[in-house]
Structure 1
Amino acid sequence: MSNSVKEGGGGLYYAVNHHGELTSLYQLTMDELRQIKSDTFHCPNCHERLLIRAGPKVAPHFAHFPKSNCVLYKGESVAHEAGKWDLYHWMKRQSYNVELEVYVKEIQQRPDILLTFREKKIALEYQCSAISIKEITKRNQAYLKEGIFPLWILGINHLKQQSHRNFLLNDFLRSFLYYFNDHFHLYFYDPDRKQMIVLSNLHYTGKPFVYGIVNDYPLPSFKFPQLFNSKKSSLKYPLTHSWEKLLYNYRTRYKAKVSSLEYQFRQYVYLNGHHFSLIPSVCYLPVPGQLSLNMKPYIWQTRLLMDHFMKKSVGEIGQFPSIFTPPTINQYQVDVTMQYVNLLDGLGVLKKINQNQWVKKKDIIFHQNMKNALEDDKNLINQLKKFTKNS
């Protein structure tokens, strides 16, 4: 094998030396680099032997030989390596006890960074590539079982912005949600700009987008605890230009091709003698925890009312079953059923008695035609504006 290294191959900031220790070239002088060039170093990912590259115009780094099969050599994780190294030194400068690529034998996991913070272990994973949701869940469960808190910071390539405050939230990103200070968060890091990006105050605005606030923080001046200290914004939920539009589109735009879940929902409504476009307006309410569900709001809300509310008499006591929502990484589980009950209470549809029961205050029926449905939608939006303002 030739001793040359392919130009443009993925450079590594650290390697494993002959003692099995992670070694970096950080802050070494040219004389020191020349002295260790003959030593043996291996890739922590594929375990192949590495070379040291350094020069007047080349930042010191480890490199693979040509024809290597390692994904790092192919350049697929260059951004990952740079970001991981930045985050490691960022926490080092704050005097935290951090270890890079340490192997946790009990769960056979090797987090990018293992941090001890206020006597708690935190596994920081800097995720640039796409991995399966099954793998994310598996790692989280293993960490939590071992008493280690998993903290995922995503590569900036995963942050997709549709407009000023609208962002993509697919199933992959939903797997990395955190819930702190009464709202949802996602974390990103941009190694090129050296900035931590916190996406917070997230609200559902129609799959696959969410409404939120993005804050950029220069890494050198940003402190680790600030990741968890963001305050809930006073910005009101965008009912006027978001939810009203969603409801109108649902009423007036027919989609021939729908998911199997929505097809089953339409069939269920048909079999009960109604058309899905004429559902009661209160079957499409802006519940804060909606973004944690991979199910459209009108499907589960209509089913709840049809199965557990409409057949009851006014004054009769009832309750809704809980709808399962997957917990966030920090184990917060949204109770969307209770959020829905609270909204129905505020709109005068029912009266909440306690955490599990309510009294029906008025009948809710399907609309007979589109004109009446659209009029009722407008009245509902006005009610919601007053209710959220008073809340």
Structure 2
Amino acid sequence: MLLAQTEDGRIISLVKVKNKVELEELKKNENFICPVCKEKVILKTGTKRIWHFAHAHNTNCGQEFERESDYHLQGKIKLYEWFQNQGFHVELEKYIPEIKQRPDLFFQWKNKTYAIEYQCSKIDLQLLKKRTALYLQNHITPIWIAGRTRLKKVSHLSIKLSTFDLSMANFLHHQPLLIYYCPITNLFTILSNLFPFSSTTFTASTEIVPACKINFSQLFQWKQGRNFECKESWLSLKQRFRTNTHLYLSTCYKRFFYENGCPISLLPGEAGIPVKSMIWMQTEAILWQGWILVKFIIPSRRGETISFHTIFHRFKEEVRKGFFVIRQLPFIKDSHYSFAILEYLQKLEKLGVLKRTGSMTLFQKETEIIIPQNVENACQLDRDVWKRLNNLEKYRKDK
């Protein structure tokens, strides 16, 4: 940790004391204690690590600062200076006794209170959720910034995200925004337009911004990149899924689609397309959308009514049985996994497969779905569907 208290109550901040001679003098003349647990702490001023305070052995503080790496300490200092340079009255490692939390940074802005947590290593997921909940219950907005070392890229536009990493997302307009920071390069990496292809693989728009070129207001009013800029990555993931990945799926999925006359590798091109709220779905997009197609859309006759509520009711049953898995996202407000289902039906409407009736949730089947003859044909249909969606998006923006 970077703060400690002297026996007479003075707070010593290692961010403000830059002179080693001054620190050595303090070390010689003062005893330091933890501001939280009041136990003895030791000032470490070696040459291998960033100067910091560490609890003496056999103390039990409950604030787990000893796990902070140099990377973490350096990031905390750089972020503190970044906020200070913007004129914020930011407090470092402020202890909040009401909730027994000590965020890395703490400040107020536009009548709101913020807690910044800079997280470089994995902690227990329930602890992360507990901290977030405690902040929110006390009208403090938590902002999680991850260490850049946590980001695992698969390709230019696809990434691997664990449930833990996703739990650090900041949700703007119901859309997740992940913020990474590297103190070595002084760069922010911002991920928007996160679309889950599978439980851990996502496509994303990635922006790398020098800290000196962006301020707090800009960072948290970030404009999402274009939804369709991840086209090649998404299509590549679908092709890989059709040719290889589907072989490793659970038998229950293989059996279901086989019994319904549509092997997984030959699901229609309309199965597995991005929709706004699909972040809720942990099950592969091509599977839950394929289920809707083979269960409700393909068997229906042209002109037959298709009800969102009927589909959602059956979908809930499959969730209850464990056939589909929903992500636990307790801090998204005004959203639900049902939104993804309705948005998918609306996408099918745009593609001309469905036609909406007078109700927002009732549709009629307009055209037949093409079942691919082979994997090559399936991949071509994937490209055709994406091209149609892309053209619709461009047309909407040009109007």
Common fold by TM > 0.5: yes
Cα shift at 1:163 = 3.9
Change (3 A) 1:21 1:164: farther
Tell me which residue corresponds to 2:203. Answer: 210
Change (3 A) 1:369 1:87: closer
Q: Taking structure 1 as the reference length, what is the TM-score of the superposition?
A: 0.80
Cα shift at 1:152 = 0.2
Tell me which residue corresponds to 2:30. Answer: 39
Equivalent residues in 2 for 1:227-242 (5 A)? 227-234=219-226, 236-239=228-231, 241-242=232-233
Q: Aligned partners of 2:133, 2:301: CA distance in 1, in Å? A: 45
Is 2:164 the counterpart of 1:172?
Answer: yes
Greater displacement, 303-312 / 109-118: 303-312
Cα shift at 1:233 = 3.1
Tell me which residue corresponds to 1:113. Answer: 105
Q: CA RMSD in A?
A: 3.6
Greater displacement, 289-298 / 320-329: 320-329
Identity level (%):
28
Change (3 A) 1:50 1:147: closer
Tell me which residue corresponds to 1:337. Answer: 341
SS at match of 1:386: helix
SS at match of 1:210: strand
SS at match of 2:248: coil
Q: Taking structure 2 as the reference length, what is the TM-score of the superposition?
A: 0.78
8 Å contact 1:174–1:292 — kept in the other structure? no
Match of 1:248 among 227, 232, 239: 239
Tell me which residue corresponds to 1:133. Answer: 125
Tell me which residue corresponds to 2:69. Answer: 77
Larger proportion of helix: 2
8 Å contact 2:45–2:51 — kept in the other structure? yes
Change (3 A) 1:45 1:76: farther
Tell me which residue corresponds to 2:322. Answer: none
The one-character-per-residue Cα deviations of 1:221-273 (angstroms, maximum 9, x if unpaired) are 5422121122233584333x233333333333365433xxx432222223334
| Structure 2 spans left out of the alignment, 5+ residues | 316-325
Q: Aligned partners of 2:294, 2:8: CA distance in 1, in Å? A: 67
Change (3 A) 1:53 1:180: closer
8 Å contact 1:178–1:184 — kept in the other structure? yes
Cα shift at 1:288 = 4.1
Change (3 A) 1:99 1:374: closer
**How many positions carry a matched residue from both structures?**
373
Q: Which amino acid aligns with 2:148?
A: I
Change (3 A) 1:160 1:22: farther
Cα shift at 1:169 = 2.3
Greater displacement, 86-95 / 132-141: 86-95
- In the TM superposition, structure 1's runs of 4+ consecutive aligned residues that sit over 6 Å from their partners are 57-60, 65-71
Match of 2:95 among 95, 103, 118: 103
Greater displacement, 332-341 / 116-125: 332-341
| Structure 1 spans left out of the alignment, 5+ residues | 1-11
Change (3 A) 1:249 1:196: closer
Q: Which amino acid aligns with 2:171?
A: Y
Tell me which residue corresponds to 2:116. Answer: 124
8 Å contact 1:200–1:212 — kept in the other structure? yes
SS at match of 1:131: coil
SS at match of 2:206: strand
Tell me which residue corresponds to 1:197. Answer: 189
8 Å contact 1:181–1:230 — kept in the other structure? no
Match of 1:88 among 80, 87, 90: 80
Tell me which residue corresponds to 1:15. Answer: 4
Equivalent residues in 2 for 1:133-152 (5 A)? 133-152=125-144
Tell me which residue corresponds to 1:287. Answer: 275
8 Å contact 2:42–2:56 — kept in the other structure? no
Q: Which amino acid aligns with 1:356?
A: T
Greater displacement, 27-36 / 205-214: 27-36
